[in-house]
Amino acid sequence: MSEEQSITYIAKPGGHLTGHIRVPGDKSISHRSIMLGSLSEGCMTITGFLQGEDSLATLRAFRAMGVQITGPDEQGKVIIDGVGMYGLKAPDGPLDLGNSGTSMRLLTGLLAAQGFDLTLSGDHSLSSRPMKRVTDPVVQMGAHIETNKDGTAPLIIHSNNESQLQAINYTLPMASAQVKSCVLLAGLYAQGQTCVTEPAPTRDHTERMLQGFGYDIKVDELDEQRRQICLQGGGKLTACDIDVPSDISSAAFFMVGASISEDSDITLKHVGINPTRIGVINILQQMGADISLSNEQEVGGEPVADIRIRYAKLKGIHIPEDQVPLAIDEFPAISIAAACADGQTILTGAEELRVKESDRIQAMVDGMKILGIDCEGTKDGMIINGGEFSSGTVDGLGDHRIAMSFAMAALKAKGPVTIKDCANVNTSFPDFIGLAQSCGLQVNSKADV
């Protein structure tokens, strides 16, 4: 997707969501399956791989480092011939990771101990996001990484041939799955045992997948909130097949859309319900949403289920802070539900939202105000008073989650909602428009000239 291309969504008011649909594969698992599969010993098959721009950026990066990767085909099938822990080769130029923060932050750890120099670059949005929170702990381990003066990309990772990385015990300043994963992946190449302590649970796909590839990893519950994850450097990864479940972050838009629009009754098939990712379900249910799970099973170490959502009258709540890390990517959608709820919804403890693809707190507050909602941003969250959406034009700011959230808002709007700068929806949700139209959302897109 060209950065210069601009896409606008026009969502008409009214309608409701019905049917049985399957949203695209989980982005977090798609990223990690390429990374660990490339470094494993043997051949593996991935099914359900997310063919969005972000995960494809990870795939292209490993191809550029000499990994033989076939696919993805139309069904999301990918075959990887792993090169082992030390089989990567120097790419011909910088690894362009587009808009993918996950790719850059995880690869910072994974590539810190390779025997060659390389540069991680990205688009304008990615190049403005903070990277010191991943480079600092890896540098503490002995890596040689350069950033811009303000701690942003491009990141220049220098060869670490002279000395091996050294294990560290690292306590995360704030709950972040990306920082945790970066340090753990660097720990694969470190001398000794690397431990990461997180102040609150975050998504644990890295830990689960490392175990799936046969790597010994230890997880200890220190108390109700804190966990410590430890691994010994110097092991190996053994190839295993992975079936990627549908992404709960993508499912969240339809959960909210069905919850706020009368006569809605939709079932989302084969959605990942990892315990570290189900904050959106817990929060919406506390708001009064009618959500039920069926056909629960475990696929490749990840729990999945079909999720049925029916319209229900929502109420405002003070969102429990222990649920915030479990729903950090879903708050743009959740804020739309809050705007349609009776009473006031208060979000606190979500300062990480200010350093995503956009400042998601400010982006949602600005857009909701344009659409007539009484709300305000705070340092670490939002205060949203339930009301009615009017008609208007909002800015998607090149952030896929902002764009899709405001598209769902049209279900309860008094007039059309126009969303500008939506091209990056393809980073996580290819054919969002087609799938949304198939279940009742009256939305179209146009390329801006």
Tell me the mean pLDDT in the region 354-372: 89
* Residue 210 contacts residue 85 (beta carbons within 8 Å): no
Q: Given pLDDT bands bounded at 50, 70 and 90, which one contains residue 161?
A: low
DSSP secondary structure letter of residue 246? B
The string of DSSP letters for 18-72 reads EEEE-PPBPHHHHHHHHHHHHTSBSEEEEES---SHHHHHHHHHHHHTT-EEE--
Element (H, E) at 395: strand 392-395
The pLDDT assigned to 75 comes to 84
Q: Which of 46, 102, 109 is nearest to 78 (CA)?
A: 46
Look up residue 205 and give its two tokens: 């796909």
What is the β-pairing status of strands 6-11 and 417-420?
A: antiparallel
The rounded distance, in Å, linking the Cα atoms of 97 and 228 is 30
List of domains in the chain: 6-25+245-448 (3.65.10.10), 27-243 (3.65.10.10)
Question: Would you say residue 14 has pLDDT above 70?
Answer: yes
Residue 449 — pLDDT band, cuts 50, 70, 90?
low
Residue 266 has pLDDT above 80, yes or no: yes
**Residue 355, pLDDT score:** 66
Does the annotation count 366 as an active-site position?
no
Top-confidence residue, 355 or 205: 205
Sign, CA torsion 329/17/413/388: negative
Q: Provide the 8-state DSSP code for 127.
A: G
**Out of 121-130, 402-411, 440-449, least confident range:** 440-449
Mean pLDDT value across residues 336-363: 90
Could you give the CA distance from residue 134 to residue 155 in angstroms, rounded to a whole number?
A: 11
What pLDDT does residue 61 have?
98
Catalytic residue among 26, 329, 395, 421: 329
Following DSSP, what letter does each residue of 319-335 receive, concatenated? --GGGSGGGGGGHHHHH
- Of 25-34, 157-166, 320-329, least confident by mean pLDDT is 157-166
Q: What percentage of the chain reaches a pLDDT higher than 70?
A: 98
Mean pLDDT across 200-228: 93
Give the closest residue to 347 by CA, choosing from 388, 380, 375, 373: 380
Q: What is the mean pLDDT of the chain?
A: 94
Question: Which amino acid type is present at position 20?
Answer: H
- Return the residue matching tokens 């403005």: 128
pLDDT for 2 beyond 70: no
- Using alpha carbons, select from 369, 416, 329 the residue that is nearest to residue 26: 329
Is residue 151 pLDDT above 70, yes or no?
A: yes
Query: Does the bond joining 72 to the residue before it have cis omega, within 30 degrees of 0?
Result: yes
Residue-wise pLDDT tens digits, 368-391:
999 999 999 999 999 999 999 999
pLDDT recorded at residue 1: 37
Q: Look up the pTM and report it.
A: 0.85
Position of tokens 């959502």? 309
Contact call for residues 62 and 34 (beta carbons, < 8 A)? yes
Confidence of residue 3 (pLDDT cuts 50, 70, 90): very low
